[in-house]
């Protein structure tokens, strides 16, 4: 069975309770649902009536797109090879959703025709994304391309591949890998702390490395395409043909956000806090593990007859004021955080 196509950081937080906002504040910000208020006006301006989402994961964006489709009359299909329970639950609650359990290219090959728009948020590496884009272009032929929307146009996937299943990528198309590694802004290699990934390119930058690199290479030689990037929540990208009848309206809507320097600074600040939070969490995990080992050692010491003998000898030598007592060790093990 194929592995999930969406390359996401490990240790992704559990899904927020229904009462929480979709933006899952102070967490990863991994979902494009965080930019739904920017996305849907562009979809409306383009008159989108059919949409395919490649890489839905738990379905946060999928659910928002279904709400949008209630008013627009559009159809929504989503692709996820191994749908997690949250996505299966969404499919059960919203039977109008078409769920395709396949890879991105596999799902595209099964279509009779291309949809009006495709959201690509799958496996975040050059080889996979390039394959999806070339498949779309091949299916379109001389017809216009669909309105294409992307996630992870900015750091960390902008110029660095990550993989869910590296063995599915031909070895000569795969970057040198780091396994169960961490990466941090400003460090082109692997860092001692930062955002954790199961499989990531060992180095940032260079040919055939990263999401934005794949999109730029696809655009090269296609002068009638326009790319915009909204630099928040790891980067939201839009790609459309400049000769589309709705192109001017979309360009007008997205212009205030496109590479906005204020948004770039906000995202930089957000990422810095996110990385520091993971570094702090890793330190806390290490300290917790160290305390657990100490508790286990003290517990074994309390069960040891040698400790009892040592306590008696200490009591004799110190004339009733021993260096340590078994009760002191027990009190330490029974400590409670107030």
- Number of CB atoms found within 10 A of residue 118's CB: 25
The mean pLDDT value for 17-22 works out to 39
Q: What is the largest CA-CA distance in the chain?
A: 97
**Quick one: pLDDT band at residue 17, thresholds 50, 70, 90?**
very low
Domain boundary assignment for the chain? 32-279, 282-333
Distance CA 31, CA 22 (A): 9
Whole-number CA gyration radius for the chain: 26
* Bridge partner residues of 179 (DSSP): 199
Tens digits of per-residue pLDDT, 54-95? Answer: 999 999 999 999 999 999 999 999 999 999 999 999 999 999
HSE-CB of 66 using CA atoms within 13 angstroms? 18
Q: pLDDT above 90 covers what percent of the chain?
A: 69
Higher pLDDT pick, 47 / 337: 47
- CATH superfamily label, 32-279: Vaccinia Virus protein VP39 (3.40.50.150)
Distance CA 52, CA 74 (A): 11
Distance CA 268, CA 180 (A): 24
Tens digits of per-residue pLDDT, 310-323? Answer: 656 556 555 556 55
Tens digits of per-residue pLDDT, 159-202? Answer: 999 999 999 999 999 999 999 999 999 999 998 888 889 999 99
pLDDT score recorded for residue 8: 42
Tokens of 247: 């192109």
pLDDT score recorded for residue 333: 62
Rounding to the nearest 10 degrees, give the CA dihedral for residues 183, 187, 193, 198.
20
Residues 175-200: b if buried by 16+ CB within 10 A, e if exposed:
bebbeebbbbeeeeebbebbbbbbbb
Quick check: 123 and 166 in contact, CB under 8 A? no
- Number of CB atoms found within 10 A of residue 270's CB: 15
Tens digits of per-residue pLDDT, 118-143? Answer: 999 999 999 999 999 999 999 999 99
Q: What are phi and psi of 89, to 5 degrees?
A: -65, -40
Distance CA 217, CA 222 (A): 10
Distance CA 244, CA 266 (A): 32
Quick check: 35 and 59 in contact, CB under 8 A? no
Do you find a cis peptide bond into 247, omega within 30 degrees of 0? Answer: no
């Amino acid at each position: 069975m194929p592995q999930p196509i969406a390359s996401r950081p490990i240790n992704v937080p559990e899904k927020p309770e229904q009462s929480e906002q979709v933006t899952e504040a102070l967490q990863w910000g991994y979902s494009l649902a965080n930019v739904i208020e920017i996305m849907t006006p562009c979809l409306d301006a383009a008159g989108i009536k059919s949409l395919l989402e490649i890489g839905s994961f738990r379905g946060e964006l999928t659910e928002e797109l279904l709400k949008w489709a209630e008013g627009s009359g559009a159809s929504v299909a989503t692709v996820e090879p191994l749908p997690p329970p949250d996505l299966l639950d969404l499919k059960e609650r919203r039977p109008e959703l078409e769920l395709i359990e396949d890879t991105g290219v596999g799902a595209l090959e099964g279509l009779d025709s291309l949809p009006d728009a495709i959201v690509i948020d799958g496996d975040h590496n050059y080889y996979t994304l390039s394959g999806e884009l070339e498949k779309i272009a091949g299916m379109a032929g001389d017809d216009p391309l669909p309105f294409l929307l992307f996630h992870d146009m900015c750091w960390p996937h902008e110029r660095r591949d990550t993989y869910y299943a590296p063995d599915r990528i031909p070895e000569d198309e795969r970057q040198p890998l780091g396994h169960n590694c961490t990466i941090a802004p400003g460090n082109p290699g692997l860092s001692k702390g930062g955002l954790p990934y199961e499989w990531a390119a060992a180095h940032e930058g260079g040919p055939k490395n990263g999401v934005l690199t794949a999109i730029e290479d696809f655009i090269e030689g296609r002068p009638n395409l326009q790319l915009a990037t909204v630099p928040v929540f790891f980067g939201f990208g839009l790609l459309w043909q400049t000769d589309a009848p709705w192109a001017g309206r979309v360009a007008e809507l997205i212009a205030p956000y496109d590479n906005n320097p204020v948004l770039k600074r906000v995202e930089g600040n957000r990422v810095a806090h996110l990385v520091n939070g993971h570094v702090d969490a890793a330190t806390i995990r290490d300290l917790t593990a160290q305390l657990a080992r100490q508790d286990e050692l003290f517990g074994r010491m309390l069960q040891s007859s040698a400790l009892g003998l040592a306590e008696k000898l200490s009591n004799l030598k110190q004339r009733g004021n021993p260096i340590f007592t078994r009760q002191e060790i027990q009190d330490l093990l029974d400590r409670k955080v107030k």
